[in-house]
């Protein structure tokens, strides 16, 4: 009973404080302001690729020097209820050129990917993505003889009820004569287990399209509730596992404050918890935590596995990040870091960035001597040369 009363008291104090914070210019001084650097110009620290919409997540294209880019619709609760539809694009890592994919719907592919009777989406609001090199092949006349060359793409889609969309895609040396453009072939989907499920990221676990996905928080929570839970680092979500036989199940020991990016190396699952500065690894139900920030120093967003190393995008934002959420604001120069670890979560290297014309870091991909940087709220991709 005492603990319940204490929580109520703390909640009331927090609400009063936040109310004063919005009214009193003196109290506002506790919240740093980050400049909105709208002009997309490369000025030394980063080379910039411009004219994008929130390039939030990356996924490697097998066998090519290229990435698939999720141009994110945005978080409605952090953008006064507004989101835009998004796109999926391809970034050529050699030329730094970006090309949007066409989408073709194949409703009866015969591949058995996704759940039965899941219909094509009406609107596309992409968020986290992942690619997988191989498929569990079944007989199908839609793509033969090219299926052995196909890769699988999974995309979080924030429709009215969240979904995971599945696409086939092919390397550049596979060209369909009736469509010379780069194309994603929609072959199925999986609808979230609840109407208020809010997926953030997805990782494909097997050739049959089984996956893990982070449920970040309940979709019907308003901003004040999210901020309250985040301030006290209370659990907001967990990780789902899905396969065709058993459907959705919650992964044991996966609960935490704002589960965000997710990745796999072999049988180990890695999850970033945005609001408590922790990355966790889970294998056979056993969890190990790597704590690298306290709440006010920010936390990690997406994780990318490359050559048995993890590349972790870290937002160093304190409460000043709240000043960057106006719909009119393209991005703001919040500080960020890139941390790379081995698969045991031992730190190998850390890169820190301060006042740059970039935005809130959400993903990083290593390519030769470069770090390719993406953002959940920005119109640009940044490229950092680690030898400079």
**pLDDT band per the 50, 70, 90 thresholds, residue 17:** very low
Residue 17 lies in a domain: no
Residue 7 lies in a domain: no
pLDDT value at 86 more than 50: yes
Tens digit of each residue's pLDDT (9 = 90 or more) over 274-283: 888 899 999 9
Residue 263 lies in a domain: yes
Cβ(370)–Cβ(51) below 8 Å: no
**pLDDT band per the 50, 70, 90 thresholds, residue 108:** confident
**Strands 55-60 vs 66-71: parallel, antiparallel or unpaired:** antiparallel
**pLDDT band per the 50, 70, 90 thresholds, residue 1:** very low
Residue 15 lies in a domain: no
**Strands 102-105 vs 183-191: parallel, antiparallel or unpaired:** parallel
Q: Distance (Å, rounded) from C-alpha 158 to C-alpha 177?
A: 33
Q: What pLDDT is recorded for position 28?
A: 46
Percentage, residues of the chain above pLDDT 90: 58
Domain range spanning residue 172?
31-385
Cβ(142)–Cβ(135) below 8 Å: no
Tens digit of each residue's pLDDT (9 = 90 or more) over 44-83: 789 999 999 999 999 999 999 999 999 998 766 555 666 6
Q: Tally helices (H) and strands (E) across the chain.
A: 3, 25
Residue 119 lies in a domain: yes
To 10 degrees, what angle do helices 2-23 and 223-231 make?
Answer: 120
Instruction: Find residue 361's DSSP bridge partners.
Output: 375
Q: Distance (Å, rounded) from C-alpha 371 to C-alpha 382?
A: 8
Q: Distance (Å, rounded) from C-alpha 359 to C-alpha 356?
A: 8
Buried b (16+ CB within 10 A) or exposed e, 43-56: eebbebbeebbbbb
pLDDT value at 15 more than 60: no
Residue 377 lies in a domain: yes
Residue 16 lies in a domain: no
Whole-angstrom CA distances from 371 to 5, 187, 330, 387 are 48, 32, 22, 11
Q: Which tokens belong to 45? A: 């620290």
Q: Using alpha carbons, select from 17, 28, 83, 36 the residue that is nearest to residue 224.
A: 17
CA contacts within 13 A on the Cβ side of 167: 24
Q: Which tokens belong to 25? A: 């210019």
What's the structural domain count of the chain? 1
Q: What is the mean pLDDT of the chain?
A: 85
Tens digit of each residue's pLDDT (9 = 90 or more) over 234-267: 899 999 999 999 999 999 999 999 999 999 999 9
Whichever domain contains 300, its CATH number is 2.120.10.30
Q: Which tokens belong to 249? A: 């199940």
Whole-angstrom CA distances from 51 to 35, 39, 48, 222, 356 are 19, 11, 10, 30, 17
Tens digit of each residue's pLDDT (9 = 90 or more) over 167-189: 999 988 776 666 668 899 999 99
CA 303, 276, 73, 153 torsion-angle sign: positive
pLDDT value at 18 more than 50: no
**pLDDT band per the 50, 70, 90 thresholds, residue 29:** very low
pTM tops 0.85: yes
Residue 111 lies in a domain: yes
Q: Looking at residues 134-152, what average pLDDT do you find?
A: 74
Most confidently predicted of 8-17, 37-46, 135-144, 190-199 = 190-199
Q: What pLDDT is recorded for position 224?
A: 81
Q: What pLDDT is recorded for position 312?
A: 96
Cβ(353)–Cβ(337) below 8 Å: yes
């Amino acid at each position: 009973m005492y603990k319940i009363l204490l929580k109520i008291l703390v909640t009331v104090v927090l609400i009063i404080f936040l109310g004063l914070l919005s009214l009193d210019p003196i109290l506002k001084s506790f919240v740093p302001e980050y400049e909105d650097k709208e002009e997309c110009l490369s000025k030394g620290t980063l080379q910039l690729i411009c004219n994008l919409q929130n390039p939030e997540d990356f996924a490697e294209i097998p066998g090519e020097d290229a990435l698939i880019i999720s141009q994110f619709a945005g978080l409605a609760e952090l953008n006064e209820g507004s989101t835009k539809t998004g796109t999926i694009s391809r970034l050529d890592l050699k030329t730094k050129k970006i090309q949007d994919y066409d989408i073709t719907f194949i409703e009866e592919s015969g591949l058995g990917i996704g759940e039965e009777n899941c219909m094509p989406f009406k609107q596309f609001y992409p968020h986290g993505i992942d690619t997988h090199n191989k498929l569990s092949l079944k007989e199908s006349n839609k793509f033969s003889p090219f299926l052995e060359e196909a890769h699988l793409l999974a995309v979080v889609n924030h429709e009215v009820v969240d979904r995971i969309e599945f696409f086939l895609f092919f390397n550049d040396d596979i060209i369909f004569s009736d469509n010379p453009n780069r194309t994603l072939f929609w072959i199925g989907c999986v609808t979230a287990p609840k109407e208020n499920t809010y997926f953030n990221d997805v990782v494909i676990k097997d050739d049959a399209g089984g996956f893990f996905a982070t449920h970040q928080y309940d979709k019907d929570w308003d901003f004040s509730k999210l901020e309250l839970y985040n301030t006290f680092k209370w659990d907001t979500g967990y990780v789902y596992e899905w396969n065709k036989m058993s459907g959705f199940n919650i992964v044991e020991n996966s609960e935490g404050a704002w589960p965000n990016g997710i990745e796999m190396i072999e049988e180990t699952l890695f999850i970033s918890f945005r609001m408590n500065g922790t990355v966790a690894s889970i294998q056979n139900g056993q969890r190990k935590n790597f704590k690298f920030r306290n709440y006010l120093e920010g936390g990690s967003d997406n994780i990318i596995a490359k050559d048995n190393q993890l590349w972790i995008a870290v937002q160093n934002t304190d409460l000043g990040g709240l000043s960057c959420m106006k719909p009119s604001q393209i991005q703001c120069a919040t500080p960020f870091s890139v941390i790379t670890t081995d698969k045991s979560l031992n730190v190998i290297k850390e890169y820190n960035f301060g006042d740059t014309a970039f935005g809130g870091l959400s993903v990083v991909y290593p390519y030769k001597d470069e770090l390719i940087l993406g953002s959940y709220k920005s119109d640009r991709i940044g490229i950092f040369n680690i030898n400079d």
